[in-house]
A and B are shown apart, each in its own frame.
Chain A
Amino acid sequence: MGKSYLSIENVGVTFQGRGLGSEVLKGVELQVEKGEFVSIIGHSGCGKSTLLNVVAGLLPVTTGAVILDRVAVESPGPDRAVVFQNHSLLPWLSVYENVRLAVDQVFRGAKSRAERHAWTLHNLQLVQMAHAKDKRPSEISGGMKQRVGIARALAMEPKVLLLDEPFGALDALTRANLQDSVMEIHAKLGNTVMMITHDVDEAVLLSDRIVMMTNGPAATIGQVLTVELPRPRRRLEVDAAPAYVAARRAVVEFLHERAPGVRVAAA
């Protein structure tokens, strides 16, 4: 049974379409320790977002179970905060109000009004977005929106932070900036993080372990790689380190040799 903090046990997901079901995930087994940063990488359509949604509780499992801190996951909740791929900020609320909504919802009984206000500002400062607290999402850039999305998730004090390709829609420079911010925050707070990505460098730079998924249908975990790089990691120094190069090579090899995406495209 799940001795780890987050335990994904024999998870399978089958979508029921007209008569024929399509099996997306099959027999996924993964143990994540508290404070660990785990990336899940694979070709598009391999079911990595499905796996994240199962952990979030947004999708039900067909077989198996997800157990977080000795409790089985059955529905979504703020203990598994999600940073969505397209930020999902509510456009009619200001930056502050977006975070405050989450803070009010999670800490309504536990914190006073003033404490919730301070906690909202604290989390905005953590992602360097306090200066734009009164702006609406439409008035800030894509990278800033994603920062606010991260602040909203952090403000829930989740047991595990789920990042669904959080930087996928950003340009390379903004992306690097945000990756650095996420590393800093992870070092400071020690969150347990599960991140979906399709960027090999991002996975190697940020993760303690990289989980590589085989191609669907019936995708499962093909290989798990531990990144042997000491923290804190600095983008410029790490780049040439043998451990970085080796890890990068192993992931690329897996993606292009053992589970090439061409097969998916041809199917």
Chain B
Amino acid sequence: MALPAYSTDSGPAPAKPPAEILAMPVRRTRLAARAAALGNDLAGVLVPPLVTLGVLLFLWELIATTKPGGLPAPSMIWLESRELILHPFYDRGGVDKGLFWHALTSLQRVAVGFSCAAVVGIALGVLVGSSKVAHRGLDPLFQVLRTVPPLAWLPISLAALHQANPSALFVIFITAIWPVIINTAVGVRNVPQDYRNVGRVLRLSPAGYFFKILLPAATPYIFTGLRIGIGMSWLAIVASEMLLGGVGVGFFIWDQYNASRISDIVVALVWVGLVGFALDRLVGLLGRIVSRGASAG
């Protein structure tokens, strides 16, 4: 009974009434233990990447200062691009905006292009996965087209659509669609025979089978495709904006390159990386929520 009182600082304990001595220290130690455990977990997750980052920055600083004329050192970047780092929300009209606005414009393009790719990709994937004829007819075409790099689509889409913005959207669409199609098709083909048999014994209608069995069973695969797809569409946006101009992260990088402001490019790259990372996690999280339990036996 007295054990908790001894385990905490026992100085003022004798002065207090006994009931408090029993209740208070127990709660405090338990809370403290939980906080410590949480702190340990957080430290275990955060410390290794922070150490890696610190070491890399240090090496970079070392190399850049001993061999000037190449990449600016991290300290130089901080000096030159301080305003860009600290004020992502400024807007002086035209293309002179903070990085947040560039990233937002790029994200809007990704949202449109990727949504189209998701809808068309899932539909085509279901078709290719469930029909042998469609598979034989379309799969070779897909396998060839999916290896075409995003930038190679740009001149073709410009020639076909004549305008910059639709062309950028098309490039995102065409880049993101292949992993969606292919993974959806695999998911549809891999619906376990047992689930098919359940559908047959229950005499589900084609629509019932599609919504009750095929789609839920393929959902984890579909989200794998969507996750790869959104990563690729983010790759495509930067590339296509470099050539198209206007507002957007890709254009910003190209513009700063022409103005020889390498420090600003480095800052923009960090933004591109972080936004891409966030997109990937977002789709991953969405997939986990939607397909919860679907893969478990």
Q: Using a CB–CB distance below 8 Å, which chain A residues touch chain B? A: 56-58, 75-78, 80-82, 84, 86, 88, 90-92, 101-102, 105-106, 136-138, 156
Contacts and interface: CB of A to CB of B under 8 A. Distances in A.
A138 B296 contact: yes
Report whether over half of chain A's contact residues are helix, strand or loop; otherwise say mixed. Answer: loop
A88 B297 CA distance: 9
A76 B203 contact: yes
28 contacts: A56-B201, A58-B200, A58-B201, A76-B200, A80-B201, A82-B201, A84-B197, A84-B198, A86-B194, A88-B194, A88-B195, A88-B197, A88-B198, A90-B195, A90-B198, A90-B212, A90-B213, A90-B216, A91-B297, A92-B217, A92-B292, A92-B293, A102-B202, A105-B202, A105-B203, A105-B208, A106-B202, A136-B293
A92 B203 contact: no
A82 B293 contact: no
Contacts of A137: 296-297
B204 interface: yes
Nearest to A97: B212
Interface string B182-205: 000000000000110110111110
A61 B296 CA distance: 34
A240 to B, nearest CB: 39
A92 B294 contact: yes
A91 B202 contact: no
Interface size on B, as a range, is 20 to 34
Contacts of B143: none
A136 B219 CA distance: 17
A156 B200 CA distance: 13
B197 A76 contact: yes
A76 B201 contact: yes
A47 to B, nearest CB: 18
B201 A101 contact: no
B134 to A, nearest CB: 24
B187 to A, nearest CB: 13
Interface in B196-228: 197-198, 200-204, 208, 212-213, 216-217, 219
Contacts of A92: 216-217, 219, 291-294
A81 B213 contact: no
Given A78-B201, A90-B216, 11 more contacts: A58-B200, A76-B203, A77-B201, A78-B202, A80-B201, A84-B194, A88-B194, A92-B216, A92-B293, A105-B208, A136-B293
Contacts of B292: 92
Contacts of B219: 92
Contacts of A105: 202-204, 208
B240 to A, nearest CB: 38
Q: 8 smallest A-B Cβ distances: which pairs?
A: A138-B296, A88-B194, A76-B200, A92-B294, A92-B216, A105-B202, A76-B201, A136-B293
B295 interface: yes
B291 to A, nearest CB: 7
Nearest to A162: B201
A31 to B, nearest CB: 23
A78 B202 CA distance: 5
Nearest to A98: B198
B287 to A, nearest CB: 13
A78 B203 contact: yes
Nearest to B212: A101
Contacts of A84: 194, 197-198
Given A82-B197, A101-B212, A91 B296 contact: yes
Contacts of A77: 201, 203
Contacts of B197: 58, 76, 82, 84, 88
Nearest to A80: B201
A58 B213 CA distance: 17
Contacts of A82: 197, 201
Residue from B204, B208, B293 with most neighbouring chain A CB atoms (10 Å):
B293
A245 B146 CA distance: 68
A56 B203 CA distance: 12
A92 B198 CA distance: 14
A82 B294 CA distance: 22
A231 B295 CA distance: 43
A64 B229 CA distance: 52
Contacts of B294: 91-92
A81 B200 CA distance: 10
B192 to A, nearest CB: 8
B297 to A, nearest CB: 7
Nearest to A138: B296
Contacts of A90: 195, 198, 212-213, 216
Contacts of B293: 91-92, 136, 138
B127 to A, nearest CB: 22
B296 A136 contact: yes
Contacts of B213: 90
A82 B201 CA distance: 8
Contacts of A102: 202
B200 to A, nearest CB: 4
A66 to B, nearest CB: 15
Contacts of B208: 105
Contacts of B297: 91, 137-138
Contacts of A106: 202
